[in-house]
Amino acid sequence: MMKCTQATQLLSERLDRNLTNSEKVNLGLHTAMCPACRQFGKQMLNLRDLSQRYVKASDASAQDK
C-alpha cells in the first residue's frame, strides 16, 4: 500500500509529467481510500488552474498597454 508521502509526491509530479500506468493505479487506489490525499490532489489541480488563469490575465493585461 502506498503511503501518504508517496501519494502527495505523485499528486504533485502529475502536474509536470505523465505518470506511469502503475503509478496511476497505485495513486488511484490510495486516493480512493484516503480523503486527505484526495483533497490534496484537488487542491493541487485548483492551484494549477488558478496559476494558469493568472498568467493568461497578466499576458492579456500586458498586451493592452
The model's pLDDT over 19-63, given as tens digits with 9 standing for 90+, comes to 999 999 999 999 999 999 999 999 999 999 999 998 888 777 777
Model confidence at 65: pLDDT above 70: no
pLDDT band at 8 (very low <50, low <70, confident <90, very high): very high
Res 1: pLDDT: 86
User: Who wins on pLDDT, 61 or 9?
Assistant: 9
Distances (CA, A) of 14 to 49, 54, 61: 14, 21, 30
The DSSP call for residue 16 is: T
